[in-house]
Amino acid sequence: MRRAVCVCLLLILSVMLGACAGPASGSGESAVQEQEIGSVPSASQGQLPEEDPVLPQEPEVRPSGAGGSAQPDKPEPEQTNPAASAPVQEPDSGREEEQAASSAEEETDPEEENMQELTLIINGEAVDVVWESNQTVAELLACAREESVVVSTTRYGDFEQVGGLPQSFSRDDVQTTTEPGDIVLYAGNQLVLFYGSNTWSYTMLGHIQGKTQEELADLLGGGSGVVELKYGQA
């Protein structure tokens, strides 16, 4: 009886030991599997799989013509300045001479040359005058060509003779201090001849040459006079 009880206890103990050994072994295998699974990196843990190596790209070529055959790009030809490579033409000397002669003719105004054909006569005596080259003298010359311009003058201020012209002429008045022998236009229609000096706004016409101040005073210092502007020599 005691022996049978001992056998039953041994059987029960072995069964219990077997039951305990089974779950322990299973839990160990499960832990190993979990450890192996945990060692694999995942996207959720911020680790990415290793990228594939980048292969070198071949140079790009483009088709040439309709056939579609690929040819590499060719460098564009350098641009040249056609004017720099063009031969330099030598100027025509004959043509230059013609142009120079033409420009000289244009610069020489026939009217300016004819201004010296205007003659001034004071009380019957022709005097030598250097006329200005301006519009007023040109207009006086044009009038003298048609008919001599005669002006009756009177002495004024003991330094000039002044008289009215038959018409008004162009004026370019400038504040001027006159000298003995100066001939000016005053107010557009007054002819003034100086044997003294005065400062006023005048248009200069010319200057009497070849006479001293005393000679001019003798010629222009009278109470009145007659001045004539004539085209051509006296």
Give the pLDDT score at 13: 74
- Whole-number Å distance between alpha carbons of 230 and 149: 7
Q: Are 159 and 184 contacting, i.e. CB atoms less than 8 angstroms apart?
A: no
- Whole-number Å distance between alpha carbons of 30 and 103: 118
- Whole-number Å distance between alpha carbons of 80 and 99: 34
Position 111 confidence tier, pLDDT thresholds 50, 70, 90: low
pLDDT at 37 over 70: no
Task: Work out the percent of the chain whose per-residue pLDDT is above 70.
Answer: 54
Q: Can you say how many angstroms the Cα of residue 195 is from the centroid of all Cα atoms in its chain?
A: 53
- Whole-number Å distance between alpha carbons of 153 and 156: 9
Tens-digit pLDDT profile for residues 114-163 = 677 999 999 999 999 999 999 999 999 999 999 999 999 999 999 999 99
Tokens of 62: 């483009």
Q: Are 171 and 180 contacting, i.e. CB atoms less than 8 angstroms apart?
A: no
Tens-digit pLDDT profile for residues 65-109 = 444 444 445 555 555 554 545 555 554 555 666 665 555 445 545
Residue 165's contacts (CB-CB under 8 Å, 6 or more residues apart) are 149, 151, 189, 190, 191
- Whole-number Å distance between alpha carbons of 15 and 45: 45
Position 183 confidence tier, pLDDT thresholds 50, 70, 90: very high
- Domain at 114-231, CATH class: mainly beta
At 121 the three-state DSSP class reads strand
pLDDT at 113 over 70: no
Give the pLDDT score at 132: 96
Position 187 confidence tier, pLDDT thresholds 50, 70, 90: very high
pLDDT at 189 over 90: yes
pLDDT at 18 over 60: yes
pLDDT at 219 over 50: yes
pLDDT at 169 over 60: yes
Nearest CA-CA partner of 64 in 56, 73, 53: 73
Position 11 confidence tier, pLDDT thresholds 50, 70, 90: confident
- Whole-number Å distance between alpha carbons of 223 and 33: 149
At 120 the three-state DSSP class reads strand
pLDDT at 48 over 90: no
Give domain limits for the chain.
114-231
pLDDT at 25 over 50: no
Give the pLDDT score at 57: 56
Burial class (CB within 10 angstroms; exposed 0-12, middle 13-18, buried 19+) of 8:
exposed
Give the pLDDT score at 130: 96
One-letter amino acid identity for 154? T
Is the whole model's pTM more than 0.85, yes or no? Answer: no
Q: Are 169 and 139 contacting, i.e. CB atoms less than 8 angstroms apart?
A: yes
One-letter amino acid identity for 209? Q
The larger pLDDT score, comparing residue 57 to residue 223, is at 223
Give the pLDDT score at 204: 98
Phi-psi region of 124 (alpha: psi -120 to 50; beta: other; left: phi over 0): left
The larger pLDDT score, comparing residue 136 to residue 37, is at 136
